[in-house]
Structure 1
Amino acid sequence: MSASYIELQSRTPERTDRDSLFLLYRPLCGQDAVILYETLMSLSCRLDRIEPEQLLRLSGIGSGRMEKARKNLEMFGLLDVYTEPVSGRLLYAVNPPLDVSRFLRHQVFSRLLLNTVGSEQFDRLMQFFAVGASVPEGWMRQTADIDPEPLEREWSEEKEQSLQKLLPARDTAGFDWEKFYRNREYLFPVRMRTRANEELIANLARLYGLSEEQMVKYVSRACPPPMKILDQEALKNIIRSERRREFLDRQDPFENAPVLFLQERQKGAPVSDADRRMLEKLSQEYRFTGPVINELLDYTMEQTNGALPGKYVEKVAGTWARLGLDTREKVRDWRKKQTAQALQGVRKRKGLQVQPDSVFSGRLPDWYNDRGRQFASEEERQQMLKQIEDIKKNWKV
């Protein structure tokens, strides 16, 4: 620590942060690292900078152990270290621990924890839990990254299977993993085949209408050889960028990927980030297929004159989920019934009786195109004209 002082930055901790820190992080990064983390959190709530020597005294960690403790915090994402190139000043950005769910889905942390505490203790932790800081512009990130190679040398298929049994079940129906993984051990090794990665890959494929082979291409770009993990945000950005103005040539637009369906409805205009997140939520949380999402978009825009208010979309999505409308056929039947009920209500208010089965008969009445129809008498013709005029006067849209 050659800097004259260290600038501190953090956010207000939550109660669950300490649970995660002591029960999940401590077995991995060690007691000294936890003490240093707590010291930095306490100081950053009261000070915006501190001298390195003062930090040593307050933490009670010797200078020889301080460096190791700091590196451990960096490797596990609890601390980011930045330097200002001109003055050489240091900035410590103290990050909150991952919550339990995100920690257990982390492709390295979850495996390290299982490898460290064993299956029995790992299972106890699962039962117990029941399952970033703003940096000034111009600062360069110098945080140490965790090296997964030691774990990879010790990790085995047996340990992977043990971990997968302990984690919550996944839902990636419709994606052919055998085809995706075939002869690709080097591109996508076992340690990267986590539930979080697989769910993301399957959801993006469903959302953007991508095949397994196409996803292989995009995934390979999101985890180039120098990297040890799949960069999930990079994968999302790559797919969003390349699929921005692509349209699938299908007769039925409802069979397109939801992003392309919505973009087509917008006359080719790019889909906003907020709408993309909404589509991802419909796919990931509600587990809707692409055609069902497209039907939901069409129904919502029909009800709101082309708008897509998020709260209304979620309200409709919740209704469909409760009713079990998980296929396009079920959704269309529901929409027909809704339309029929609405038409009946309107016409009853106008004094007209309509048979429910006649609303969607599948074809127009025989008389619709019968332009050569003759009236039996002039009286009948005048009576028909009078009825038409009455309807025109009384009918309001």
Structure 2
Amino acid sequence: MAIEIRCIEHLSSEQRQSLSLLYGPLIGKSSVCLYEFLGSIQNSIDLEDIYLLLNMNAAQFDKARNYLEQYHLIETYVHKEDMLIFLYAPLSPNKFLCHETYSRLYLACVGAKCFDKIKAMLHIDKTVSSLYTKVESPLDVSILDSWNESKEIAYEKVKPTIKQKYDFDFATLFKGMDRIFPVRFRTSENLDRIAEMAKIYGINAKDMRRYVQRSINPSTHVFDLDKLKDMVMRNRKAIEIGSDPYQMSPVKFLQNKQNGIPVVKSDQILIERLCKEFQFPIEVVNTLIEYTLQQTKQQFSRNYVEKVAASWVRLGVDSRKRALNIINQSPAGNKNDKNTEKVVLDEKFYTQKEEKSDTQIQQEMLELQKMLKEGKL
């Protein structure tokens, strides 16, 4: 099998520190070695040569590659007998140690004492004496004030094609928004956040355009992402359930599970963490929601949900199929199948008693009263 290597991001000295000291204990020496080796390949290499040069067998290679995929250091694509691998740079030490998932996994792996030592070792003092004055040169984007829709169309024709991270209808969002939401606001960070919120909270492009418009201060012309998120989280619009409910937005999925009652803010925040920090696909998040509700008698407990989520990260759950396999293998998943017996009722339990009329009931009461007076009861 021939493997084509594409190095998407080159490593800085900080990122190399992060790979060795932070990722290393989690992914193992074989994975670090494989990552460094792949990064040194200019174009392509045969899989058999990797086995030979790194002294690995097929199982060891797959295990090392799987760890790199779990921590988003590589992306692997397979077509027949060919393999394509994209290499991505590790998170910087600061971002790694602040990462909600990676930092917890690292602490669990090395312990608090080692965690503190590494944190102190990688700390960079960025404080500046008050005697210094910061010199700032803001980017001049005034030339884009005259940017219009025709220029945007011309730009779209010549710009390089970039793989979209989110499936979102940006064309509808931008339609008629040249002045309201100009190009200077359309940074990759802002667009990623907009598409991410749309996916998590189930907002279509038309509604998102209205929210974006309301998030821009008409006086200062500042785009407020926090205000946008607040409006998105307060959205109560119903969403239609498609052929696959596990592909719908997780917030709307939970809302559907509770008979259309809007999802409270704390649950929305927890769902957002599952999507962003744990980096689960939508179908996995919805499967996790359904599973944890079943296991806790419909209580969406943060501690329990995050505990299950962390275990799924370690097990490499990246699809609903994989999640269902894990659920079915766990004692909790098989509990109902083993202990639940079908209850068969006797035929007499299905016989409906004949209802009595008001006249019959009154007559029986008179007879009882008569029997009481005569001392027969």
TM over 0.5: no
Give the structure-2-normalised TM-score.
0.45
